[in-house]
Amino acid sequence: MFSRGKKKILLIGDMPGWAFHNIILFVMKSLKDEYGLYYDFCIYNPLRANTENSDFKKTESNQADNLIYKREFFALKIPIVRGIFYRFLKVANKMGWTLVDEEGKFRRVNANKQYDAVVYLDYYMDKVADFSSIKTKKTIRGIYTAGFPPKGISLDEGITPALFCEKYLADADALIVGSPNMKEIYDPYLGSVYFANLAYDEKIFSPKKGGEKKKGKLVLGWTGNPNREFKGYHEIIVPAIEQLKQEGYEVELRTQFSGTLNSLASFWQDVDLALIASEADAGPSLFIEASLCGVPSVSTRIGMPSVVIQDGVNGIFCERSINDMVKKIKWVYDSEKLPEMKKSIRQDCIRVLGVEQQKKNWRKIFADILDE
């Protein structure tokens, strides 16, 4: 990934191993031949204690079960080869041959810290981490939580979209939102609002061969961080499953709280129905993973499900309550619609959220903003 002569773009996420990391990897893979792409994370650039802006208080912990802070290399522990291997990693990272730098951290930065554009995948990242040394011609900010106000930091009660844009997005040359229906919130107040997100490998995430549903137990699936309250795992999903079992329904809840993309594909290939109870989520990524594997969802009307699901055709919407989640799972269980839903959901997801469409979305953002 040679950057000489290409416009340089720095993508900033919160921490390795989370959703923003996957977005960065997707952009890197998709546009590496067109731009000089760099990436960094907030967790590597902590604010000094006396520089924290009181207007920006994160509402969730920076700690995550699947956080990978850096990669350890055995060669760096051997004195005789440590220096050589360190220099090799430094050069390899500069050339784009490795995803980690000489310290084993998942980042690639321009030595002179000058870029044509910087993308803060969450709009407040430069206020909760120290990126003050960066020099950029264009600033692009992102919002990946659905609804308003966006989650992530504490905001004034009763804040309006107009005031929010004036206070937090005034310096943004563009705003990226995580689902198409979020554009209508910010479009009236900003000049350049774009939808762009990640997409998964459609060959890896595919239905299991010979995986026709057999009569009997309904296997339900959920993936992600269960401790993020807005996801509703403990509050909605678990109680709903317990209620179904108490009423005699043969259901099994399978979960995966962390893992590689390949392991997630294998996970969804053995599931019948995905459950989504988020109250504010531009994704969630589990919806894309499940859909590409031919697994329909019972979902709240948020983010990506809201633009792909045709209620009762390729999935089903539910209210964010235990009772309605139970009701909709029962409907799927008792009806014979599941095989038809499975056939529809993969192609419908690819049409709206697939790899080629997301490549076009990111390409348009950078072309529009950098060619101004």
Mean pLDDT of 268-274: 96
The tens digit of pLDDT for each residue in 226-241 reads 988 889 999 999 999 9
Residue 347: pLDDT band (50, 70, 90) is very high
Question: What pLDDT was estimated at residue 97?
Answer: 77
Instruction: Indicate whether 204 pLDDT > 70.
Output: yes
Per DSSP bridges, beta strands 193-195 and 316-317 are: unpaired
The tens digit of pLDDT for each residue in 35-49 reads 999 999 999 999 876
Residue 4: pLDDT band (50, 70, 90) is low
Q: List Cα–Cα distances, 83 to 70, 205, 259, in angstroms.
A: 19, 41, 32
For the chain, what percent of residues have pLDDT higher than 90?
A: 63
Average pLDDT over all residues of the chain: 88
Question: What pLDDT was estimated at residue 155?
Answer: 84
Question: What pLDDT was estimated at residue 49?
Answer: 62
Q: What is the dihedral of CA 18, 260, 272, 200, to 10 degrees?
A: 70
Instruction: Indicate whether 130 pLDDT > 60.
Output: yes
Q: List Cα–Cα distances, 280 to 230, 307, 369, in angstroms.
A: 6, 15, 28
Residue 215: pLDDT band (50, 70, 90) is low
Ordered by where they begin, the domains of the chain are 8-69+105-199+355-370 (3.40.50), 218-353 (3.40.50.2000)
